[in-house]
C-alpha cells in the first residue's frame, strides 16, 4: 500500500471546509455551554441548564466529588496518625476502614 491516506475520497473545497468546521465548532460550543457543562460541573452561564434541570445534576456531582475527596483525606490522615501511635501503644486493627 503506497499511500494509506485515501486520496480518492471526496474532499470538500476550501469554502465548504471552513463552513463545515465553523458549524462543527458552533454546534460543539452550544452543546457544551447549554448541556455538558451544566450537567457535569454545574457551570451554567446561559441559565438554560437550570431550565433543563441539568445544572442541579452537575452541582451535586461536584459536591459529592468534593466530599469524597475530603473523606479520603481525613481517612488518610487518621490512618497516618494511627500508624504513628501504633509504634508506642498498639491498638486493635481498625476493621471499619476499607
Partner 1 sequence: MRSFPPRPLATSALVACLMILLLLVISDEALAHGVTAGDKGYLQEVSGRLLIPFAYLGAKHMVTGYDHLLFLLGVIFFLYKLRDVGLYVTLFAIGHSLTLITGVLTGVRASAFLIDAVIGLSVAYKALDNLGAFKTWFGFQPDARAATLIFGFFHGFGLATKILDYEVSPEGLLPNLIAFNVGVELGQLLALSAILIAMSYWRLTPSFAKRAHSANVAILAAGFVLMGYQLVGYFVYDFL
Interaction site with partner 1 (CB under 8 A):
1, 4-6, 9-14, 16-17, 20-21, 23-25, 27-29, 31-32, 36-37, 40-41, 43, 62, 65-66, 69
Say how many residues make up the chain.
98
Shortest approach of partner 1 to residue 90 CB, angstroms? 25
C-alpha count within 13 angstroms, C-beta hemisphere, residue 75: 11
46, 33 Cβ separation under 8 angstroms = yes
Shortest approach of partner 1 to residue 24 CB, angstroms? 4
Shortest approach of partner 1 to residue 89 CB, angstroms? 29
Please give the C-alpha separations between residue 77 and each of 31, 72, 81, 84, in angstroms, as whole numbers: 41, 9, 6, 11
Beta carbon nearer to partner 1, 9 or 83: 9
Amino acid at each position: 500500500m503506497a499511500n494509506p491516506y485515501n486520496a480518492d475520497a471526496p474532499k470538500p473545497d476550501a469554502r465548504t471546509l471552513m463552513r463545515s468546521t465553523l458549524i462543527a465548532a458552533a454546534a460543539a460550543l452550544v452543546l457544551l455551554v447549554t448541556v455538558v457543562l451544566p450537567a457535569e460541573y454545574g457551570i451554567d452561564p446561559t441559565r438554560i441548564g437550570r431550565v433543563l434541570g441539568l445544572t442541579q445534576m452537575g452541582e451535586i456531582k461536584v459536591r459529592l466529588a468534593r466530599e469524597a475527596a475530603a473523606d479520603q483525606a481525613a481517612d488518610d490522615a487518621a490512618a497516618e496518625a494511627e500508624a504513628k501511635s501504633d509504634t508506642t501503644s498498639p491498638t486493635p486493627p481498625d476493621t471499619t476502614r476499607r
